[in-house]
Structure 1
Amino acid sequence: MSNATLLAPVQTARPAAEPIARPIAPITRVAASPHPAPAQQRPEPAVPAGSAARGFALYVGIDEQKAAQAGVSLGILVDALRRTLADLAPAAQTYATVALAPVAAGGRDVDVVRLALHEPSAVARTRPEPVDEDLANRVIVDISRKRVLIDGESANFTYKEFELLQYLVLREGRTIDRAELVSSLWSAGTEEEAPGERTIDVHVRRLRAKLSRYEDIVRTVRGIGYRFDRHADVVIRYGNGTPSPDRF
């Protein structure tokens, strides 16, 4: 699975040589009842404090052979879903990509797709956790338990300090500017007042001080922001607590 890659966005236009596929039945919109029964109401999925749902990912497990047996193709399926979404929510934006995996990859199709597209909870299940004797002489960022261990000892991080480190860790290798950190970690509606962009530097200095001799895992990119760099003596524990799209 590790060599899974992403293909360019699916081209939904049907090639000229493609055989005529079975027509897709049109979707009939049903008027909502003015007083729907409580059992019919789907609850909104819970999101972590300080964040907001901005969309969703729908993972579809089917290969070209199975699609052909159903009289369609992957491109036709993507086009049908896009047309349905355009009818229900015209303002929605879409992006489609194909998941590539080894031919002999086993397991459910949808699980293969989730792993190939690096869905967080699917990737987390494939990462072994280090044994206790490996705790010395390294820093462990435990995302699932929201704690940091330095040389086997728990570091006294505040909630906001851990959030800041976690935000950088989950975007490993990408430089995050100060404005993004402020807007993401001090979003509207939180009790704590959002700091100025330069105040982020103070939070980072405190974070680095607690990281002690591992402080350089949080690097400053002059004039832009900050980046998390993985070192050989840094372990990230993701656990299985990352929300998965299939909770919908």
Structure 2
Amino acid sequence: MSLAIAPARTAAARIDTTRTPLRSAPAPAGTAPVGPSPEAPVAAPRVRAVPEGTEARGFVLYVGIDESKADADGTTLHRIVEALRALTGEIAPSAETYAAVALAPAGAGGRDVDVVRLALQDPAALAKQRDAGETRNDADRHPNGVIIDISRKRVLLDGEPAGLTYKEFELLQFLVLREGRTIDRHELIENLWSAEDEVPSERTIDVHVRRLRSKLAHYQDIVRTVRGIGYRFDRHADVSIRQASTPSPDLY
């Protein structure tokens, strides 16, 4: 979710709260000051990092939180937006506000705030993604390691297709999108097999994971077994994950 307060002309502008007092000229010798000395005017706070010839017209605040996290905090995205709007109106009644919700594919991984910045076309985030894309393109020309391409539903091992079945890819994708979290067998069954006529047992899940790991060959340790609990995906330096984000419509 992102709240934009007035049009933003610059990114990462900071308010400089340091003030330099203006000093009055000393009185000529032999004269006494008349009345109390007026206070020197104080310079207004200025916005730093604004290029010459431009002016700050507002700012953008990116808020990274999904609906489930908001619910766990006892609130909703709409209530957060309205609270921020109310606070802005209290502090600066003349400010204009505009808010938009950033959407991404269901279950998409990554930090919420990074997804928001990309979906709302933040220039710095787009530049970072572009640089990362150029690095990945170099890796495609000289492929090494694992490429998990969620958008194309494929896995490459050192440039060669891993040959996963649809269900094996679904299983890997489910773990990848929950990177670093241990997923128990019951959660895998509930999310990947609940719509099927025959629901597998937990032992069957172990068989599916074993087949998946065998196809990952010498990279099989990216899918780790957590004894007595379930499975976890751990990203290594030689693992690249690709997925597309969806631009958001204006919902608020």
**Aligned-residue CA RMSD in angstroms?**
4.3
Q: Are the aligned partners of 2:100 and 2:251 in contact in 1 as well (CA < 8 Å)?
A: no
Secondary structure (helix, strand or coil) at the match of 1:198 reads helix
Deviation per residue, 1:115-143 (Å, 9 max, x gap): x9707853665443343331422101111
Q: Which runs of 4+ in 1 moved over 2 A?
A: 3-12, 56-64, 68-72, 108-114, 119-133, 243-248
Give the TM-score, by structure 2 length: 0.52
Do the aligned partners of 1:57 and 1:245 also contact (CA within 8 Å) in 2? Answer: no
Q: Which has the higher strand share?
A: 2
Q: How does 1:37-56 map to 2 (within 5 A)?
A: none
* Higher Cα Rg, which structure: 2
Residue 67 of structure 1 aligns with which residue? Answer: 86
Is the aligned partner of 1:219 residue 2:209? Answer: no
**How many pairs are equivalent?**
165
Residue correspondence of structure 1 range 84-163 to structure 2 within 5 A:
109-110=99-100, 118=112, 121-122=115-116, 126=125, 127=129, 128-129=132-133, 130-135=135-140, 136-163=143-170
- Indicate if the aligned counterparts of 1:124 and 1:238 stay in contact, CA closer than 8 A: no
Give 1:71 deviation, angstroms: 6.0
Identity within the alignment, %: 52
Structure 2 runs not aligned, ≥5 long: 1-11, 13-61, 92-97, 105-109, 120-124
Deviation at residue 110 of structure 1 after TM alignment: 3.4
Consecutive unaligned residues in structure 1, runs of 5 or more: 13-55, 73-107
TM-score by length of 1: 0.53
Q: 1:157 to 1:11 in 2, by over 3 A?
A: closer
Secondary structure of 1:223 counterpart? coil
Q: 1:172 to 1:247 in 2, by over 3 A?
A: farther
151 and 57 in structure 1: CA distance in 2 versus 1, 3 angstrom threshold? farther
For residues 148 and 112 of structure 1, do their structure 2 counterparts lie closer, same or farther at Cα, with a shift above 3 Å needed?
closer
- Whether 1:181 and 2:188 are equivalent positions in the alignment is yes
For residue 47 of structure 2, what is the aligned residue in structure 1?
none
| Structure 2 contact 163–215 (Cα < 8 Å) conserved | yes
SS at 1:141 equivalent: strand
